[in-house]
Each structure stands twice: as C-alpha cells, then as structure tokens.
Amino acid sequence: MKVEGFINACVENGYHWYQGEHEGKDGYFVGSKELNTVAHFLVEAIQQNEWPILENQITQGKKVHHVSRVVGYFSRIENWNKSKHGELKDRNKGDYGIK
C-alpha cells in the first residue's frame, strides 16, 4: 500500500495520525481515541501490507464498525461506494466552499 493511500484510509476511518520518530525510526503514529489505541508504522511496513492488516494493528484486534451520518441516517461506511467515501473525506476536511 502506498503511504498516501494509508493516510487517506486513516482519515476516512476516523483515525488520528501524525508523522514522528520512535526508537530512532521515522514513521507514522496512528490511533483511535474511542478504542484508546496507538500504533507506530514504519514506511516499509505500510508499503508491504494491505489496509485490513494495518487497521488490525491500529485497533489492536478490537471489533470496529465505522459509522457516519453523511447520508442523513447512520450507516456503516464499509458498504459505501467510492463517491460516498470521497464525500466523507471532503466533509472531514471541512471543504464546503464552491470552487
């Protein structure tokens, strides 16, 4: 997985991330406030794994369902198409202006 895709997946799924160093190794810290978890990922680990494996590290195996109310009612975002994920991403950024 590309790092950009990893960061986008983190944002789309409501995880908080920042780039930083741990034990002398640069990488990305990703966490969930709701689950009280944090994981550190090296760039190589991100590139060598797919999202489900990386997300399992973030959630530390805890069962997670991502829900949003973007569509007017609460629904699981795992079932959404690419356009709806894009809408959620734009809303998370607060990108409401007309361009």
For tokens 């978890």, the residue is 37
Looking at the domain assignment, is residue 99 inside a domain? no
pLDDT of residue 35: 85
**Residues 7 and 31 occupy one common structural domain:** yes
**Residues 12 and 24 occupy one common structural domain:** yes
**Residues 70 and 23 occupy one common structural domain:** no
pTM, rounded to two decimals? 0.61
DSSP-based three-state secondary structure for 26: strand
Give 10-66 pLDDT, tens digit per residue: 998 889 999 998 888 899 999 988 888 899 999 999 999 999 999 999 998 887 666
**Residues 68 and 58 occupy one common structural domain:** no
Q: How many domains does the chain have?
A: 2
Give the span between the Cα atoms of 94 and 29, in whole angstroms: 23
**Residues 27 and 48 occupy one common structural domain:** yes
**Residues 42 and 88 occupy one common structural domain:** no
Choose the weakest-confidence range: 5-9, 16-20, 26-30, 93-97: 93-97
- Domain residues for 29? 1-62
Neighbouring CB atoms inside 10 A of 9's CB total 19
First to last CA, the chain: 31
Looking at the domain assignment, is residue 8 inside a domain? yes
